[in-house]
Amino acid sequence: MVASRANETPEHACVRLGDQRTRQAASRAAESPEQRQTRREDDRTSRSTSRAARWTFMEREGFQYDPTKNYDNHCQLYIGRMTEICSYCDALKWPGEAPGMCYSNGKVKLPSL
């Protein structure tokens, strides 16, 4: 099915999705309030389980760091690039990072090494 969808034309996809919308609307119009409540509870449970499962790969990873894993390329772990440079010590910082995080915004003076 995935291969056939990858090869379908935009027009065919539009027709298929329109048909699906029609079938879905008819199905939901015919369901009772109890069925609707059950469906919604099942949907909530499914979404919750799916969200939790996305992060199981990181469970206890902070205690079992593996340097062979390429953590920085994982889409769920991306926190951006450090593109800002501290005006006090030339350290790299993230955009929007508080200026007081480094040298207390210039209040701390350390001797050069």
Owning domain of residue 100 = 78-106
Residue 100 lies in a domain: yes
Q: 71-83: per-residue pLDDT in tens?
A: 777 777 777 888 9
**49 and 11 belong to one structural domain:** yes
Greater model confidence, 91 or 27: 27
The number of distinct structural domains making up the chain is 2
Q: Do 53 and 92 share a domain, yes or no?
A: no
Q: In terms of domains, do 48 and 89 share one?
A: no
Residue-level pLDDT at 22: 97
pTM over 0.85: no
In a domain, 38, yes or no: yes
Tokens 């369901």 belong to 31
Retrieve residue 65's tokens. Answer: 């760091």
Q: What is the pLDDT of residue 12?
A: 93
14, 45: one domain: yes
Residue 72 lies in a domain: no
State the pLDDT at residue 47. 92
- The answer to whether 103 and 94 have CB atoms below 8 angstroms apart is no
- Has residue 18 been placed in a domain? yes
- In this structure, what is the dihedral angle of CA atoms 48, 54, 57, 62, given to the nearest 10 degrees? -80
For residue 94, being part of any structural domain is answered with yes
pLDDT in tens, 15-68: 999 999 999 999 999 999 999 999 999 999 999 988 877 777 777 887 888 888
